[in-house]
Amino acid sequence: MSHTNSSALSSSGLSYSLDAALFQKSPALSSSVSVASASSATSSAAPTSLTGRPISHDSLRAKYESILNSRNSTDRELRESLKKLRMLVVMNGMPDNSDDPTPQHGCSLKGRVWKCLLGVYSLSAKDYSRLIDKGPCDVYDKIKNDTFRTMATDRKFTKRVQENMLSRALNAFVWKVKELPTHRLLNLKFSYVQGMNVLMAPFLYCMPELDAFHAYAQFIQHVCPLYVQPAMEGVHCGVKLLEQCLKILDPELYSHLKRKKVEATVYAFPSVLTLCACTPPLSELLKLWDFLLAYGVHLNILCIVAQLMMMRTKLLSRPSPGSLLRTLPPLNAKEISAITIALVPQLPDDLYDWLARHPYDATIYEQMIPELEEEEKELGW
CATH number assigned to the domain comprising residue 181: 1.10.8.270
Segments of the chain assigned E as strands: 2-3, 71-72
Q: Summarize pLDDT for 67-107 with one digit per residue, the tens.
A: 999 998 899 999 999 999 999 999 999 998 999 998 888 89
**Is the pLDDT reported for residue 271 higher than 70?**
yes
Q: Are 161 and 260 in a shared domain? A: no
Q: Are 154 and 215 in a shared domain? A: yes
228 inside domain: no
**Is the pLDDT reported for residue 277 higher than 60?**
yes
| Residues 189, 229 contacting (CB under 8 angstroms) | yes
Mean pLDDT of 276-300: 97
Domain termination residue (choose one: 162, 189, 223)? 223
Q: Are 20 and 106 in a shared domain? A: yes
Q: Are 240 and 370 in a shared domain? A: yes
Q: Are 244 and 361 in a shared domain? A: yes
Domain termination residue (choose one: 198, 223, 248)? 223
Q: Are 218 and 311 in a shared domain? A: no
Q: Are 109 and 139 in a shared domain? A: no
Q: Are 98 and 216 in a shared domain? A: no
Q: Summarize pLDDT for 249-267 with one digit per residue, the tens.
A: 999 999 999 999 999 999 9
Query: Model confidence at 13, in pLDDT bands (50, 70, 90)?
Result: very low
Please tell me the distance from the alpha carbon of residue 168 to that of residue 171, in angstroms, as a whole number.
Answer: 5
Q: Are 328 and 286 in a shared domain? A: yes
| Total of domains in the chain | 3
Q: What is the dihedral sign for C-alpha 339, 344, 347, 352?
A: positive
Q: Summarize pLDDT for 335-352 with one digit per residue, the tens.
A: 999 999 999 999 999 999
| Residues 108, 207 contacting (CB under 8 angstroms) | yes
89 inside domain: yes
74 inside domain: yes
Percent of the chain with pLDDT over 70: 81
Q: What is this structure's pTM?
A: 0.85
**Is the pLDDT reported for residue 211 higher than 90?**
yes
Longest CA–CA span in the chain (Å) reads 61
Q: Which residues of 49-63 are buried (b: 16+ CB within 10 A; e: fewer)?
A: ebeeeebeeeebbeb
User: Residue 2: phi, psi to the nearest 5?
Assistant: -120, 160
Long-range CB contacts (within 8 A, 24+) of 255-263: 256/315, 256/316, 256/321, 257/315, 257/321, 258/381, 260/319, 260/320, 260/321, 260/322, 261/322, 262/321, 262/322, 262/325
Pick from 1-10, 12-21, 194-203, 354-363: least confident: 12-21
Q: Are 238 and 372 in a shared domain? A: yes
Q: Are 149 and 196 in a shared domain? A: yes
Domain termination residue (choose one: 223, 256, 271)? 223
The enclosing domain of 350 has a CATH number of: 1.10.472.80
Q: Are 180 and 216 in a shared domain? A: yes
> Domain range spanning residue 279?
233-379
